[in-house]
Amino acid sequence: MKSIIQLTLALGVLLFSGLTFAKGVMVDDPYVRAIPPGQTISAAFMMLKNDSDKVIDLIKATSDSAKNVELHEHVHEDGMMKMRQISKISVAPKGDTALKPGGYHIMLIGLVKHIQPKDVITINLEFSDGSKQEIRAEVKKIMMGMMKGKMSMKKGMKFKQHANPMPNLMAVFKMMGDQLDLTDEQKSKLKAGIAERSPKVNELYASIKNLEKEIYEATLNSESLNKIDQLADKLMQARLALIKGKAGCRESAKEVLNDKQFQKVVELYRANRMPKPTKMDAVQAKAKLMKHVNPLPNLMQVVKKRADQLNLSKQQATDLKKWRDERGPVTQKLATTIVKLEVELLEAALNNEPVAKIDQLADSIMQSRVKMIRGKTLCRDNMKRILDNKQYAKVIALYKKM
Ligand SMILES: [Cu+2]
């Protein structure tokens, strides 16, 4: 009995001390990036969890494995990712802060010996509450994580190109501003303009993305033509607003810059930022074009490629083929028109055509885009008429697997 009481007491002390330890920052999952031979710089990442009711900062890190250890963050500056030293990394009360590739990290500079995966690096951390911790971080290969980050950045850029046919002149200021001989006043005006417009522009990108997703899903979920029309209408309004915003952006840049500088912006854009045609075969090119002009799922593709799995009657096969032969060229022509108009719009913006001209082209683009969505929805509905319910359900199932 006595021993049980002793045990309980001991357990209580253990638990209690455990709790006191937990009042502070806990470190989870620390690791160090593996590096190629010859390189002497690496970084450590981890999750910092603050269990207390006060902000606690990581204020210092040291390690016997590196001559110099610094706290760093990554920032977007002039359109580029840069890292810089910071004095602390804060962890909010009851919150956590991730040290991760592309964000906060502990920089290990001048590694005393080459590090390899599975090696364990000891790092000493000091916090603003006076506590210190020694952590052991395993060396890991994290190339995949970096590539994912780069890929998602590329994907983001591609989406912007898809959503916005206007030239991105802001990118020229951000990345090549030094070639424009800007005065300080011009710089601060441009910066203020960008800061003012960015939130609205980002909001529009997000709503275009969401609406296209909604249209896509509404089609698969057999929503009515009317419902899809409504979504298409909203989508076109967002696309128009984005073009108008970008046109306004150009106008305000013209107010800030002199003619020569604006001409230089256009030159730099043409030389560096024009969307480049990527190498691909005709089939890939067509698929890419269709994805750009049509947010709906391409159900016809299923009928074309997986017809053997649909148990079509002769009549059904004939009807579908007839419809496809009829609609195919119409769709193709519409797709070409949209892209042609978008190129015209880009050129008009660069050639300093008036905003009215840009508006007019934008309207034509949206009319064609609406026609495309409408046509594709009719296509779906016609397919539903030709097929029986079971077959149509099969088309959807097969599409989702493609
Ligand atoms: Cu760094």
- 51 with 180, same domain: the answer is no
Ligand 1 centroid to 86 CA: how many Å?
Answer: 10
CA–CA gap between residue 242 and residue 205 (Å, rounded): 8
Is residue 318's pLDDT more than 80?
Answer: yes
User: What CATH number is attached to the domain comprising 58?
Assistant: 2.60.40.1890
Domain count, the chain: 2
CA–CA gap between residue 221 and residue 377 (Å, rounded): 12
- 118 with 198, same domain: the answer is no
Ligand 1 centroid to 44 CA: how many Å?
Answer: 9
Ligand 1 centroid to 217 CA: how many Å?
Answer: 42
Q: Could you tell me if 35 and 41 are in contact, meaning their C-beta atoms sit under 8 angstroms apart? A: yes
Ligand 1 centroid to 109 CA: how many Å?
Answer: 9
**Residue 14, pLDDT score:** 42
Ligand 1 centroid to 117 CA: how many Å?
Answer: 20
Instruction: Indicate whether 16 belongs to any domain.
Output: no
Ligand 1 centroid to 93 CA: how many Å?
Answer: 26
The mean pLDDT of 381-392, rounded to a whole number, is: 94
The mean-pLDDT minimum among 63-67, 193-197, 221-225, 293-297 falls in 193-197
Instruction: Indicate whether 149 belongs to any domain.
Output: no
- 97 with 192, same domain: the answer is no
**Beta-carbon contacts of residue 327 (< 8 Å; ≥ 6 apart):** 300, 375, 379
Domain of residue 48: give its range. Answer: 23-141
Is residue 222's pLDDT more than 50?
Answer: yes
Is residue 214's pLDDT more than 60?
Answer: yes
Instruction: Indicate whether 9 belongs to any domain.
Output: no
**Residue 144, pLDDT score:** 54
Is residue 8's pLDDT more than 90?
Answer: no
> C-alpha 231: how far from its chain's center?
23
**Residue 16, pLDDT score:** 41
Ligand 1 centroid to 206 CA: how many Å?
Answer: 31
The model's pTM: 0.64
Each residue's pLDDT tens digit, 145-156: 556 666 677 777
- 322 with 267, same domain: the answer is yes
- 104 with 219, same domain: the answer is no
Ligand 1 centroid to 40 CA: how many Å?
Answer: 13
Each residue's pLDDT tens digit, 67-92: 999 999 987 765 567 788 999 999 99
Ligand 1 centroid to 179 CA: how many Å?
Answer: 28
Q: Could you tell me if 57 and 96 are in contact, meaning their C-beta atoms sit under 8 angstroms apart? A: no
Is residue 17's pLDDT more than 90?
Answer: no
Instruction: Indicate whether 321 belongs to any domain.
Output: yes
The mean pLDDT of 51-75, rounded to a whole number, is: 94
Instruction: Indicate whether 343 belongs to any domain.
Output: yes
Instruction: Indicate whether 256 belongs to any domain.
Output: yes
Instruction: Indicate whether 317 belongs to any domain.
Output: yes
CA–CA gap between residue 187 and residue 90 (Å, rounded): 32
- 343 with 231, same domain: the answer is yes
- 171 with 130, same domain: the answer is no
- 34 with 174, same domain: the answer is no
Each residue's pLDDT tens digit, 102-117: 889 999 999 999 999 9
With vertex at residue 187, the alpha carbon angle to CA 181 and CA 193, rounded to the nearest 5 degrees, is 135
Instruction: Indicate whether 12 belongs to any domain.
Output: no
**Beta-carbon contacts of residue 31 (< 8 Å; ≥ 6 apart):** 44, 45, 46, 137, 138, 139, 140, 142
* Per-residue confidence band for 59, with pLDDT thresholds at 50, 70 and 90: very high
- 133 with 222, same domain: the answer is no
